Amino acid sequence: MAKCPKCGTIVETPIKEWSLPKKTKNGEKSKIVFGTFICPNCSAQFRATVEKPAEPTTIKSIVKNLKNIEGEFVNTLKNLREKIQKLEGERSNLLLEIEELKKMAESKANALENEITMLRDEVKSLKELLGYEEDEKE
Ligand SMILES: [Zn+2]
């Protein structure tokens, strides 16, 4: 429906129409419809946006919308599941790596402990050799 710019007659239907996609404020996909009209009163041909009445809310369109929503939901779930699986895999890899590093750190600590014990023994025997026996109590 559009108004003739020459004589102001309301023209109900365009002879041709086309649409461009646009996004609404909510980020939902929508489209803007343009049309070519011919005025039945003055025969002027003009282009205007077509004021589309909101799509009639039929059971069919509700079901279609629900199907779309359901589809998106299923997709989202699928993506989330894949993401979680990937993250869980990564997590267990990291845990394994940490476990390995811990073991390495532990054996390093053990080696150091052994070395320290040996060094202490060495110090002790050197002190004994030099007659420092009293220092033993520290
Ligand atoms: Zn007209």
Q: Does residue 24 fall inside a structural domain?
A: yes
Q: How confident is the model at residue 101 (pLDDT cuts 50, 70, 90)?
A: very high
Instruction: Provide mean pLDDT across the span 113-128.
Output: 94
Q: What is the pLDDT of residue 20?
A: 82
Query: What is the rounded average pLDDT of the residues 5-30?
Result: 84
Model-wide pTM > 0.85: no
Confirm whether 16 is domain-assigned.
Answer: yes
Give 83's pLDDT tier (boundaries 50, 70, 90). very high
Average pLDDT, integer, range 52-56: 61
pLDDT of residue 137 exceeding 60, the answer is no
**Domain count within the chain:** 1
CA of 45 to the centre of ligand 1 (A): 8
Question: Does residue 108 form part of some domain?
Answer: no
Cα of 7 from ligand 1 centre, angstroms: 4
Could you tell me how far CA 91 lies from the centroid of its own chain?
19
13 within some domain: yes
CA-to-CA distance for 38 and 47, rounded, in angstroms?
9
Residues near ion ligand 1 (Cβ under 5 Å) = 4, 6-7, 9, 39, 41-42, 44
Q: Domain range for residue 21?
A: 2-53
CA of 52 to the centre of ligand 1 (A): 21
We report the CATH number of the domain holding residue 49 as 2.30.30
What is the rounded radius of gyration, in angstroms, for the C-alpha atoms of the chain?
Answer: 41
Residue 121 lies inside a defined structural domain of this protein: no
Q: Does a structural domain hold residue 86?
A: no
